[in-house]
């Protein structure tokens, strides 16, 4: 133990106001350290009754203030990130016969969407049916709060062989345009990807592995390091269910993954800074 710390504790020890742990620490140290023992013996009662704050105590209080400010700042930032992600995350709308009104000219197709659709996403592919366009109608809570414009999509007929609306309620696509009958008897179309269920399972496995390592190889680590280790994959799992809910299927995995990672970062940032705060508070506890 550093002698400077012991010398900061000795006045508290002589006054009888130190904790049991600090008292034991001082007694064990001055048995073997002549310098600190001499300092202890040199102090008289008048010297320890002054009201000047001890340097060690002042440093501890100041550091705890900084850590508390950092924790509060990270909490506010994390909450803002989570709220932003929640409000701006696009939520797909299932197809029904009232969702889209279509009209056409000789060379154009016009799709006018219902008022609750505030965003339209399109994805082009050249696959089994040739030039194919996938359409998603969605909304976000922020759009509904701020109000959105009427969504209208105008397309050139010559550009596409097939036009599909991705989310038909049963995880299959709805055929909106198919003049050549390419999709007849084709069964389910454009099934969503289920990669987030796979990713969540990996994260859960990493979380369990972290717990096992914490009680085996890393058993000598302090509890705060262990918390930071296992909370990283756990943050991803929590973020996945916050963004996707229980339906982990996705037609737009890259977009959804971005929102999940932002939310996971916010959750982990709060856990990390909070663990640092309590670690330092315990470390400098008198």
Query: Mean pLDDT throughout 60-83?
Result: 77
pLDDT for 61: 62
pLDDT for residue 170 = 65
Average pLDDT over residues 12-26: 79
Domain check: are 202 and 277 in the same one?
yes
Q: Does 201 lie in the same domain as 69? A: yes
For residue 148, CA distances in Å to 101, 118, 145, 153 come to 18, 5, 9, 15
If asked whether residues 167 and 207 sit together in one domain, one would say: no
Alpha helices (H) along 109-247: 141-146, 195-214, 223-244
Residues 220 and 257 occupy one common structural domain? yes
Domain annotation covers residue 216: yes
The angle at the Cα of 34, spanning 30 to 35, to the nearest 5 degrees, equals 95
- Residue 57: what pLDDT? 58
| Tally of structural domains, the chain | 3
The predicted-structure confidence for 194-239, as pLDDT tens digits, reads as follows: 788 889 999 999 999 999 999 999 888 888 899 999 999 999 999 9
Residue 150: inside a domain: yes
Percent of the chain with pLDDT over 70: 86
More confidently predicted of 130 and 16 = 130
Give the C-alpha separation, 201 to 237, whole Å.
8
10/178: higher pLDDT: 178
pLDDT tens digits for 21-53? 888 888 888 888 888 888 888 876 545 444 444
Task: Report residue 20 as tokens.
Answer: 């049991």
Burial label for 239, CB within 10 Å (0-12, 13-18, 19+), is: buried
Q: Which helix (H) or strand (E) holds 283?
A: helix 253-283
Q: Are residues 148 and 209 in the same domain?
A: no
For residues 234 and 202, membership in a common domain is answered with: yes
Q: Is residue 224 part of a domain?
A: yes
- The domain of 42 spans 3-52
Is 92 or 66 the better-scoring residue by pLDDT?
Answer: 92
Note whether residue 187 is domain-resident. Answer: no
Based on the domain organization, do 155 and 118 belong to the same domain? yes
Q: How confident is the model at residue 58 (pLDDT cuts 50, 70, 90)?
A: low
Q: Are 123 and 133 in contact (CB under 8 A)?
A: yes
β pairing state of 162-165 and 174-177: antiparallel
What pLDDT score was predicted for residue 51? 47
Whether 148 has a pLDDT exceeding 90, the answer reads no
Residue 282 has pLDDT above 80, yes or no: no
Local confidence band at 99 (pLDDT 50, 70, 90 cut-offs): very high
Whether pLDDT at 91 is above 60: yes
pLDDT value at residue 77: 83
Residue at 58 is within a domain: no
Same domain as 121, residue 98: yes
> Does 118 lie in the same domain as 72?
no
Task: Name the band, by pLDDT with cuts 50, 70 and 90, for residue 78.
Answer: confident
Q: Mean pLDDT of all residues in the chain?
A: 82
The model's confidence at residue 285, banded by pLDDT at 50, 70 and 90, is low
Are 37 and 170 in the same domain? no
Write the pLDDT tens digit of every residue in 157-182. 999 999 999 877 666 788 899 988 88
Terminal-to-terminal C-alpha distance of the chain:
14
Q: What is the pTM of this model?
A: 0.59
Identify whether 158 is part of a domain.
yes
Give yes or no: residues 117 and 145 share one domain: yes
Q: Per-residue pLDDT for 260 more than 80? A: yes
Whether 11 maps to a domain, the answer reads: yes
Same domain? For 119 and 138 the reply is yes
Asked whether residue 189 is domain-assigned, the answer is no
């Amino acid at each position: 133990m550093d002698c400077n710390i012991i010398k900061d504790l000795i006045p508290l020890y002589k006054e009888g106001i130190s904790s049991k742990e600090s008292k034991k620490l001082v007694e064990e140290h001055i048995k073997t350290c002549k310098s600190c023992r001499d300092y202890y013996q040199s102090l008289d009662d008048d010297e320890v009754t002054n009201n000047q704050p001890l340097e060690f105590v002042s440093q501890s209080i100041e550091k705890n203030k900084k850590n508390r400010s950092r924790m509060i700042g990270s909490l506010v930032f994390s909450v803002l990130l989570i709220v932003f992600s929640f409000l701006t995350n696009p939520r797909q709308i299932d197809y029904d016969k009232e969702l889209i009104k279509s009209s056409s000219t000789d060379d154009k197709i016009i799709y006018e969407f219902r008022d609750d659709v505030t965003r339209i996403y399109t994805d082009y592919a050249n696959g089994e049916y040739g030039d194919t366009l996938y359409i998603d109608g969605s909304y976000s809570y922020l759009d509904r709060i701020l109000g959105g414009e009427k969504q209208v999509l105008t397309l050139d007929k010559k550009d596409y062989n097939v036009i599909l609306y991705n989310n038909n309620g049963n995880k299959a696509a709805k055929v909106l345009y198919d003049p050549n009958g390419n999709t007849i008897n084709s069964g389910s179309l454009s099934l969503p990807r289920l990669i987030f269920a796979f990713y969540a399972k990996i994260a859960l496995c990493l979380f369990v592995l972290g717990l096992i390592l914490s009680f085996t190889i890393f058993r000598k680590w302090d509890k705060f390091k262990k918390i930071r280790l296992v909370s990283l994959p756990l943050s991803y799992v929590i973020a996945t269910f916050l963004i996707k809910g229980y339906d982990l299927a996705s037609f737009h995995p890259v977009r959804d993954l971005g929102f999940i990672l932002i939310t996971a970062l916010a959750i982990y940032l709060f856990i990390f800074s909070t663990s640092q705060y309590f670690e330092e508070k315990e470390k400098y506890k008198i």
